[in-house]
Structure 1
Amino acid sequence: MLLIGDDWAEDHHDVEVQDDTGRKLAAARLPEGVEGITRLHELVAKHGGEDFEAAEVVVGIETDRGPWVQALIASGYQVYAVNPKQAARFKERYGTSGAKSDKGDAHALADMVRIDRAQLRPIAGDSEQAQAVKVVARAHQTLIWERTRAFQRLRSALREYFPAALNAYADLSLTSTDALELLIKAPTPQAGAKLTRTQITAVLARHRRRCRDAKAATVQSALRQEHLGLPGPVTAAYAATVTAHARLMIALNEQIAELEGQVKAHFRAHPDAEIYLSMPSIGEITGARVLAEFGDDPTRYASAKARKNYAGTSPITRASGKSRSVQARYVRNNRLADALQTQAFSALNASRGARRYYDKQRARDVGYNPALRQLGNRLVGILHGCLKSRTPYDEATAWSHHAYTPAA
């Protein structure tokens, strides 16, 4: 068996090849791309011998995606995606000075897959369709997070010089494109006070707002209220800043809508989509995010408990001496945790079983978030059973062990 530590950078890879006793056989810096992967195969062939099989090559690398990783998997190598935090803790056994080098990192990764391979998770063999869902679902969610950051900066600036705009566009939502267009049209208190009802209604009509006349009257009234002001040059500077943020948010809105269509299309094309959509109130976007983060490798999760642990919905126990506590997991896949929280919240109104299970937790004096997390944990277990048996969600079957017994 050959153990390879691969410390990757943007344009090169530092690799170290060891045998199963830990003896260093080779070390090299390989370029990214076809040339680099070819040279890596040559190193494997040189030190593996004539009867060597690709399955006897184990690679540790601190990423689970990209053409290089896909090339390693396609070659039949066992590839382990090592969490950078795990690698950093592992390297502490070599010393506490904090010294770092690419060659040293490659050596540590080779040692790690040789010594602690049983504690690591091999890269899942997700299908091409699942990988496509993951790419677009993550990109869509990232753009939403970027819009939220841009909105917070926009809101902060408006509070400094134009708080009336926050009140004026509250009903429209300041993240909506029509409200942002009105803000660009009148980015200062003086310009806002001059907006006519006709101008406001025209923008609302272009975006198909209902009750346009009433909304336009509310916006105009709020913009014309008296308020404290700032000197002209300062107001102009804030107006330029707000206009830039508003234009950025409009562009983000357009791309979010475009990617939303892509997420739905790729998700619908996946063979597991029907099972995911059968879950209570999961929806296409949330379903795509859950599928993207779980993947579709049928061998990845040995049990429902393993899936729950990866999801971060199951609790962890901390015990030392006489002290013992059960706590929520905070080190987890945040994208998956966010999607599961959304699903659990929506399921409260769509599933009687989910509502009863949640109410049961609250009756035990469990707080709102812990109860919702426990419901999410239960839904993950149900999803695992549905995927394993290839059957859609069934309300009666899913909650048969948690149904209330009617009072006599």
Structure 2
Amino acid sequence: MSAASQLDALLSAHWPGPLGMFDRLDSPIGLAFLARYPTPVSASRLTAARLGAFLRRNSYSGKKPPEELLARLGQAPKPTGCLDESTLTGLVNAHVNQLRALLAILKELNHTIAVAVEAHPYAGLFAPMPRIGGLNLAQVVGEVGPILERAENAAQVAAEVGVAPVTHESGTRRSVVFRMAVNHHARQAMTVFADNSRHADEWAAGLYADARARGKRHPHAIRILARAWIRVMWQCWKTNTAYDPSRPRQQKWRPAEWCTAGALLMGVS
């Protein structure tokens, strides 16, 4: 988020202390700290006891003791800028207010997306897939879904999504290269899902590891895994049945066995 980067740049020059205190500067606790202590002078009398009281008032859940956070604050490099107290206070507060407004908007948008995805007639087909997540599920349904609807087979889907290579042949010459003319949003949605899935699914982890063992670089191995998931999605989509993570799977996939036979959606039997 560019607004967070702008605040980071301001603090790096004039108030580096808060940058290393919390996991994220644009978190509620990070913004609350800056709103209360926008300058080095405002935090000059901060003690562990006062910081502990501040953390309790703001429901801090980072599990770092106030002594550790205060030590981080004190170990920060000295500021290189020379803005006066009132100017720096005004600038920090302006950035904090901007970020709070943007985060509120993002929270509302995420809720809207979640509601829309839940209501989508096909979201339930892919929701059980490992680590697909709400936002990634929305991307898959929105970007890959239309391709699934018009495609004639899973190979066409993989090609349009961009997780299958393209072959050039001329006479006796043949080359297999990275596919450029694709739906880039769909490719991102599928590769993000594939990458996440290997951390929660033994079959996906096996396919990825096998590709790496054959000398494939990480992006190539992820595309190979994404191509395998597209074959599964194709079967679930065309039969209108939800993916069933409990079904036993082998390294040689059998997509017809990967969907819940009794979980037909939309009243289709």
- Please confirm whether the aligned pair reaches a TM-score higher than 0.5, indicating the same fold: yes
Equivalent of residue 270 in structure 1, options 116, 120, 139:
120
Q: CA deviation at 1:235?
A: 7.1
Q: Deviations over 1:275-329 (max 9, x none)?
A: 1112222122211221112345874222212222222222234567887543334
Equivalenced residue count is: 253
Partner residue, 2:19: 166
Equivalent of residue 305 in structure 1, options 135, 149, 155:
155
Change (3 A) 1:226 1:312: closer
Q: Which amino acid aligns with 2:8?
A: R
Q: CA deviation at 1:355?
A: 1.0
The answer to whether the 8 Å contact 1:189/1:223 transfers is: no
Q: CA deviation at 1:402?
A: 5.2
Q: Which is higher, the Rg of structure 1 or of structure 2? A: 1
Task: Map residues 98-137 of structure 1 onto 2, 5 A cutoff.
Answer: none
Task: Map residues 7-406 of structure 1 onto 2, 5 A cutoff.
Answer: 148-169=1-22, 172-210=23-61, 214-225=64-75, 227-230=77-80, 232-233=82-83, 237=87, 240-295=90-145, 299-318=149-168, 325-394=175-244, 399=250, 401=252
Structure 1 stretch displaced more, 270-279 or 336-345: 336-345
Q: CA deviation at 1:166?
A: 1.6
Change (3 A) 1:232 1:159: closer
Give distance in 1, aligned partners of 2:240 and 2:118.
Answer: 16
Q: Deviations over 1:14-58 (max 9, x none)?
A: xxxxxxxxxxxxxxxxxxxxxxxxxxxxxxxxxxxxxxxxxxxxx
The answer to whether the 8 Å contact 2:47/2:70 transfers is: yes
Structure 1 stretch displaced more, 271-280 or 315-324: 315-324
Give distance in 2, aligned partners of 1:305 and 1:368.
Answer: 22
Q: Which amino acid aligns with 1:175?
A: D
Q: CA deviation at 1:206?
A: 4.6
Q: CA deviation at 1:251?
A: 1.7
Q: Deviations over 1:231-271 (max 9, x none)?
A: 54367655544433332222222222222222222211222
The answer to whether the 8 Å contact 1:341/1:373 transfers is: yes
Partner residue, 1:135: none
Instruction: Give unpaired runs (5+ residues) of structure 1.
Output: 1-147, 404-408
Q: Deviations over 1:337-370 (max 9, x none)?
A: 3332321122113221111111110110111221
Instruction: Give unpaired runs (5+ residues) of structure 2.
Output: 255-269
Q: Which amino acid aligns with 2:112?
A: Q
Give distance in 2, aligned partners of 1:156 and 1:231.
Answer: 11
Partner residue, 1:406: none
Change (3 A) 1:297 1:319: closer
Change (3 A) 1:341 1:325: same
Q: CA RMSD in A?
A: 3.0
Partner residue, 1:63: none
Give distance in 2, aligned partners of 1:297 and 1:372.
Answer: 20
The answer to whether the 8 Å contact 2:14/2:81 transfers is: no
The answer to whether the 8 Å contact 1:177/1:253 transfers is: no
Partner residue, 2:265: none
Runs ≥4 in structure 1, deviation > 6 angstroms? 320-323
Change (3 A) 1:355 1:211: closer
Give distance in 2, aligned partners of 1:376 and 1:363.
Answer: 17
Q: Deviations over 1:158-199 (max 9, x none)?
A: 222333322222xx3112121112122222223233334455
Change (3 A) 1:216 1:273: same
The answer to whether the 8 Å contact 1:188/1:236 transfers is: no
What is the percentage of aligned positions where both structures have the same residue?
26
Change (3 A) 1:402 1:297: closer
Give distance in 2, aligned partners of 1:252 and 1:240.
Answer: 18
The answer to whether the 8 Å contact 2:16/2:78 transfers is: no
SS at match of 2:46: coil
The answer to whether the 8 Å contact 2:236/2:242 transfers is: yes
Q: CA deviation at 1:374?
A: 1.6
